[in-house]
Chain A
Amino acid sequence: MRYTILCYHNEEITSSWTEAEDTEVIENLKAVNRKWAKNFEPIVRLMPTTAATTLRKSENIVTDGPFAETKEQLLGFYVVDVDSYEVAVQIAREMAEANPGGAYELRPIALYYPNGEAIEDAPTP
């Protein structure tokens, strides 16, 4: 069985962490990651919501910021590796045609470990 563990926190707080505090949190998490290394698949840290845009599928428009409505629920996600933002939007638009309604939020990835065990190297996108 596979689970996603989705991370929620208050950005007012996380964005006021100093670099040292941020590193401390990551180090603490790494200890858990190491213990369960064989169970971890991709580990992803997203950029702040200020870097997000959202494709509203029914209107086919892209707006700034994260998807912040409360009626819709998170149903899934894709990780795409593209050369530019335009390509990511293009993919989202094509998916929107295939599956109308709701929205796709495009959030750049800050840290990406394709396999949990590779946690020691920190590749950037």
Chain B
Amino acid sequence: MPQPPEPDWIEARLVGARPQAVAALLRYFRDLDLAEEAFQEACLRAVKSWPKNGPPRDAASWLIMVGRNAAIDHKRKQARLTGLPDEAVISDREDTEPDMVERLDAADYRDDILRLLFVCCHPDLPATQQIALALRIVSGLPTPRIAAAFLVGERAMEQRITRAKARIAKADIPFETPGPVERAERFAVVAAMIYLVFNEGYTDANPTSERAKLCDEAIRLARLMLRLFPAEPEMMGLLALMLLQHSRQKARFDAAGAPVLLDDQDRSLWNRHRIAEALAMIDKAMLHRQPGPYQIQAAIAALHARAERQEDTDWAGINELYEALERHAPSPVVTLNRSVAIWKLHGAAAALELIAPLAEPLDGYFYFHGVRGNLLERLGRNSEARDAFSRAIALANTPAEAVHIRQHLDQLEGERTTGKP
């Protein structure tokens, strides 16, 4: 007699099976709403049936079959009621039943899930809608939780998701199995979206907030992608990068929620487990000898993680990695980041020289003026530093950033009144 499973256990199985099941149902129905409804119906039936009959051996297959059949029944009933021809819209697809059954065992969900994530990243959708949609559809987060994560009302989030779905319904979703080039393109888009999810959570000072939990969700999605596509070095790099950044979660904000700079963080608060896993991922990725932006950024974060004290940091190594990043993904922001390594290696004047050409492209960028102000302050060019910090404070993205800059300004103000230049 099988033990009836605990309700918690059922929920865990449903959450775990969700990406696979929704992805397969999307391939079958070619419609996001239908796929989601079919999955929800299957979950309802699971909650009723599993405690009585025991859990199925493969929860995802069970949910796909039950969800698919329920949706087809529903369609047929609707067709009869409205007197339409009794030809279910979905029944004439060439890739339906026999193939479906085979695929359930073949663990060939890879492209389904990749497609599901890819669909959420449609280029017509703004980044925030991409993330919201992926969290709703792939991760299955309830709308109130997503709304809380984005600090907007539930109704607004509901509308945002509905609009995003409508946009996608009009787009051509590619349903053929992708070739290697397309797959690589999808991979890059999906990786970028996963990192957006992470960054959304990363900015939150409260580690138990809904928003901060997005970091865990992003890591979970990256692990999911890697289980499906184990040989993708950039996905390994992304997972390592997120694990390393997330390892500093408890050290990145002080008790008042103000950000603590890397140099000033209490390194004993860094999560050694996440660091260890990230270093293992980087080792694996390196075997492929296909460096890319995520791997390089992860390698930079790893050099910070390896330094037990701030002064042990391998700044020469970090500078070299930033130079590599400038070649792979040139951007003024990368050069701005490299200036910190140059400052540590060659002093503030050299760093200031490096960032001088960035003044125009990064004029509207908070961190540029913050870094510049800092360097000028160190060189004793206080009045220029004040101007840079004033510019930064006007561009601050969060109250905490503004407070941080305000401290610099107050310090400079104090020096001015005591007679320093």
Contacts and interface: CB of A to CB of B under 8 A. Distances in A.
Interface of A: 10-13, 15-19, 47-51, 53, 62-65, 84-85, 108, 110-111, 124-125
Interface stretch (B168-176, B275-283, B335-343): B275-283
B216 interface: yes
Interface string B4-18: 000000001101110
Contacts of B287: 53, 62
B352 to A, nearest CB: 38
B216 to A, nearest CB: 7
The 7 A-B residue pairs with the shortest CB-CB distance in the complex, in nearest-first order: A65-B230, A12-B16, A85-B283, A64-B230, A13-B16, A50-B226, A108-B280
Interface in B230-262: 230-231, 236, 239
Contacts of A65: 227, 230-231
Contacts of A47: 276-277, 280
A6 B227 CA distance: 21
Given A12-B17, A16-B15, A110 B230 contact: no
A50 B231 contact: no
A47 B226 CA distance: 14
Contacts of A13: 12-13, 15-16
A51 B284 contact: yes
26 contacts: A10-B16, A11-B223, A12-B224, A13-B13, A15-B223, A15-B224, A16-B12, A16-B15, A16-B16, A18-B213, A18-B216, A19-B216, A47-B276, A48-B277, A50-B223, A50-B226, A51-B280, A51-B281, A64-B230, A64-B231, A64-B284, A85-B280, A110-B277, A111-B273, A124-B273, A124-B276
Contacts of B230: 50, 63-65
Contacts of B416: none
Contacts of A11: 223, 227
Could you say which of B20, B230, B273, B287 has the most chain A C-beta atoms within 10 Å of its C-beta? B230
Interface in B209-230: 213, 216, 220, 223-224, 226-227, 230
A110 B276 contact: yes
What DSSP secondary structure best describes chain B's contact surface?
helix
A50 B224 CA distance: 9
Contacts of A110: 273, 276-277
B243 to A, nearest CB: 10
A84 B283 contact: yes
Interface of B: 12-13, 15-17, 20, 213, 216, 220, 223-224, 226-227, 230-231, 236, 239, 272-273, 276-277, 280-281, 283-284, 287
Given A13-B12, A15-B224, A51-B281, A63 B273 contact: no
A15 B283 CA distance: 21
Contacts of B216: 18-19
Contacts of B239: 50
Contacts of B236: 50
B324 to A, nearest CB: 21
B277 A108 contact: yes
A51 B231 contact: no
A2 to B, nearest CB: 28
Given A49-B227, A108-B277, 13 more contacts: A16-B220, A17-B12, A47-B277, A48-B277, A50-B226, A50-B236, A50-B281, A51-B277, A64-B284, A84-B283, A108-B276, A110-B276, A124-B273
Contacts of A124: 272-273, 276
A63 B17 CA distance: 26
Nearest to B235: A50
B271 to A, nearest CB: 9
Contacts of B213: 18
A51 B219 CA distance: 13
Nearest to A10: B16
